Amino acid sequence: MSCHGNPILKTPHIDRLHAEGVRFTDFHVSPTCSPTRSALLTGRHEFRNGVTHTINERERLTLKAITLAQVLKSAGYTTGIFGKWHLGDEPAYWPDKRGFDEMFIHGCGGIGQDYPGTSGGDVPGNSYFSPYILHNGRFVKTDGYCTDVFFTQALRWIDSVRGKRPFFAYIPTNAPHAPLQVRPEDEQRYAGKVPPETAKFFGMIANIDDNVGRLLDRLREWSLERQTLVIFMNDNGGTRGVEVYNAGMRGQKGTPWLGGTRAASLWRWPGTLRPADVHRLTAHLDVLPTLAELAGTPLSEKVKEQVEGRSLVPLLKNPQAPWPERTLFTHVGRWPRGQAAEHRYARCSVRTPRWHLVSDVKAGAARWQLFDVPHDPGEKNDVAAQHPEVVRELAAAYDRWWDSVQPMLVNETAIGPRERPFAVLFRQQLGGSMPRP
């Protein structure tokens, strides 16, 4: 975004969140989308949720997990999701079974995506423009561009519940994502300034920014601004845009480098949170315990056993609050079916506040590289030879972690239904498939 130094892309409304909120500058997510969503909604690493991929049933969030929506419902909140779920397309895995009162979602990882031979797939032939969306169990034909549609529906729902119950609105947009279907007027903002595909990608982000502005304006109009915490974050590193600007980071989406996991994390709550930078090592794992504490609901013993993250409340109050050392583990996953053992050290990393230990092999034995992040944020200088004791310590921690998650990889041999659930339900409800655009 422009608030992070992008010289071309302009994001004035996200910049406003940045200026008016708490900014976590060393905040990390998973290298791809389903894993991040899984960790965000459960407070624990995606592998412990059985999520090791974005397709092939390995994107399904284990039914044993308790979600953030369920935790907030126990505190009296009503909950809604508007956009991308990507944690299981079979009805048992849908968000309306996982704590969400209002469900307005597309299938699979993207609108129109289709993976034959798996359960993953959206409505056949769906488009980013006026897509069919699953609304509380029934498909509806929408009117407009997908991101506009998701925000419009979210605002409509917030309007219907405001003043009656506290609400949690989760708005995970499909964009920016391939295929790069973008409004012509948004693409035109960047045409000629960057390569053509990047202009489309930036146009998608500019459209998201416009909708963030709509959301902030509406909260102010409704006098909800000082009662509402707005959080903005992304789910993995960049793709098309990194050729123009990547903030000096190495890597992108689908890699274990900082450019694959370091994310925006902007928390705006006027009158409650004072704008500040927080430089502590934080992660998506921390969102659930943070929102539970802010909502005033103690975690049940079962949820406590599940959650690996920490509440960010002390840092939201004081960026210099004590924050003990921690270790975060990253693995891109996505190995071929049945080959987890061979990919133990493939595209993985271990992060502490100072160190980043990375193995970027495709398979087989580890080839560890070590980076001193505060002094080398671009990860250009491998210092493994100078610090063998650090490599040994972090590699041993990684091995313990890997062994601990193996019993929880519950989707590795899963076989999906013969026909994709969204296609079946669409045919049952609306008769036949929609012609491809």
Residues 97-156: pLDDT tens digits?
999 999 999 999 999 999 888 899 999 999 999 999 999 999 999 999 999 999 999 999
pLDDT band at 436 (very low <50, low <70, confident <90, very high): very low
Which residue's entry shows tokens 């990507």?
Answer: 86
Residues 45 and 76 in one domain: yes
Question: Is 432's pLDDT higher than 80?
Answer: no
Same-domain check for residues 204 and 312? yes
Q: Which domain range does residue 238 map to? A: 2-325+420-430
204-230 pLDDT, tens digit per residue, is: 999 999 999 999 999 999 999 999 999
Q: Rounded distance, CA 197 to CA 207, Å?
A: 16
Structure confidence at residue 358 (pLDDT): 98
Tell me if 86 sits within 8 A of 108, measured CB to CB.
Answer: yes
Among candidate residues 75, 67, 180, 64, the one with its CA nearest the CA of residue 129: 180
Q: 437 falls in which pLDDT band (50, 70, 90)?
A: very low
- Report yes or no on 415 lying in a domain: no
One-letter amino acid at 291 equals: L
Q: Are residues 191 and 304 in the same domain?
A: yes
pLDDT at residue 418, rounded to an integer: 85
Indicate whether 436 belongs to any domain: no
Same domain assignment for residues 232 and 372: no
Averaged pLDDT score across all residues of the chain: 96
State the CATH number of the domain containing residue 53.
3.40.720.10
**Domain contains 100:** yes
Q: So what's the pLDDT on residue 47? A: 98
CATH of residue 387:
3.30.1120.10
Q: What is the pLDDT of residues 256-301, one digit of tens each?
A: 999 999 999 999 999 999 999 999 999 999 999 999 999 999 999 9
> Do residues 39 and 71 share a domain?
yes
Q: Would 242 be classed as within a structural domain?
A: yes
Dist. CA 57–CA 411, nearest whole Å: 6
* One domain, residues 362 and 314: no
The confidence score (pLDDT) of residue 431 equals: 79
Any domain includes 350? yes
Residues 309 and 395 in one domain: no
Q: Is residue 218 part of a domain?
A: yes
Residue 68 lies in a domain: yes
Each residue's pLDDT tens digit, 301-358: 999 999 999 999 999 999 999 999 999 999 999 999 999 999 999 999 999 999 999 9
Asked if residue 372 and residue 316 are part of one domain, the reply reads no
Enter the tokens of residue 432: 């036949």
The runs of H, that is alpha helices, within 2-84 are: 12-20, 33-42, 68-73
Distance CA 353, CA 200 (A): 36
Least-confidence region, from 11-15, 416-420, 423-427? 416-420
- 362 and 252 in a common domain: no
Model pLDDT, residue 430: 87
SS (H, E, C) 419-434: CCHHHHHHHHHHCCCC
Q: E strands of 59-125, at which residues?
A: 78-84, 102-106
- The whole-angstrom separation of Cα 11 and Cα 206 is 6
The whole-number average pLDDT for the span 358-377 is 98
Tell whether 209 and 287 lie within a shared domain.
yes
Q: Which residues contact 242 (CB under 8 A, 6 or more apart)?
A: 252, 259
Q: Cα-Cα-Cα-Cα dihedral of 150, 288, 326, 379, to 10°?
A: 0
Phi first, then psi, for residue 23 (nearest 5°) are: -115, 115
Measured at the CA of 139, the angle between CA 34 and CA 147, to 5 degrees, comes to: 55
Cα distance between residue 353 and residue 385, in whole Å:
20
Q: Which residue has the tokens 């390995």?
A: 58
Whether residue 278 sits in one domain with residue 372: no
What are the tens digits of pLDDT across the range 146-198? 999 999 999 999 999 999 999 999 999 999 999 999 999 999 999 999 999 99
**Which whole number is the average pLDDT over 362-382?**
98
* Pair (296, 349) in one structural domain: no
Domain presence at residue 78: yes
Q: How many domains are contained in the chain?
A: 2
